[in-house]
Amino acid sequence: MGGQVAEKRITVRATRFDPAKDSAPRLQSYDIPFSDESMVVLDALNYIKAHVDGSLSYRWSCRMGICGSCGMTVNGTPKLTCSAFLRDYWPGSVTVTPLNNFPIVRDLVVDMEDFMHKLKSIKPWIIRKQEMPLGAGEHRQTMDQIDDFRQLSQCINCMLCYAACPVYGLDDKFLGPAAIALSRRYNLDSRDEGTKERLPVLASSDGIWECSFVGECSVVCPKGVDPAKAIQQTKLDTTMRFVLPFGNRD
């Protein structure tokens, strides 16, 4: 009486959009085997591309939550698809759409140009008023000094926070959570002397004051960066910098 065990399957719906042919994005449904409990949404997309439809386009790279490439909207929530397990959705279906608030290039691929421009505008690198000669040795930091910015340095630029941010969705001029969090990461770094250079961008009308503390950016952040906290603390620091007559300035 050795009856065959029915193969477990899952329905994955993915956005399809070819700007040369389609007037608007549409959802296409794929019924694929759910053979392994450790399968993630990215595995499902890779299965579809390899076995069902090779024309499906999406970004991915490391497959381990480090590169930040595979961010998409899974059942309405921005997620890294390499960290979204199918078992959490089965027996229901999984709907994969591109990250919200960004123009679609093709299928699940979004245009990152705006984010890249904003990232560059806050100068996410160590700025020194005067560089030390190489022979002078490295810039040393205590563990407490590293702890000041360690959490913020975990950002992998996956843009999930932008996809979750209604402020950015309503006004894409807003500098956005990741860029502000990263600027704070460098402003808090004891080796950095570039706060004054970043301030005009941060304190502009499209900077920190646009944020109304919705907080969803911190909820969806896959690395626990807490950009909402970084933005509110930057607001406080910027205000103190303006109000205090002597302290807290370069």
Q: Which is nearer to another protein, 45 or 185 (CB)?
A: 185
Contact by Cβ (8 Å): 208, 238: yes
Contact by Cβ (8 Å): 12, 44: yes
Cα distances from 236 to residues 10, 146, 156, 177, 241, in angstroms, run: 48, 21, 25, 16, 8
User: Minimum distance from CB of 7 to another protein (Å)?
Assistant: 34
212 binds another protein (CB under 8 A): yes
Query: Could you give the strand order of the β-sheet that contains 26-33, starting from the edge strand earlier in sequence?
Result: 26-33, 9-16, 94-97, 71-74, 77-80
Q: x/- site string to another protein, residues 165 to 184, per CB under 8 A?
A: -x--xx--------------
- Calculate helix-pair angle for 113-121, 177-187, nearest 10 degrees: 20
Contact by Cβ (8 Å): 250, 195: yes
Q: x/- site string to another protein, residues 118 to 157, per CB under 8 A?
A: --------------------------x--x----------
244 binds another protein (CB under 8 A): no
Among 213, 242, 244, 250, contact with another protein (rule: CB under 8 A): 213
Among 2, 76, 135, 224, contact with another protein (rule: CB under 8 A): 76
- By CB under 8 A, name the binding residues for another protein: 76, 101, 144, 147, 166, 169-170, 212-216, 219, 228-229, 232-233, 235-236
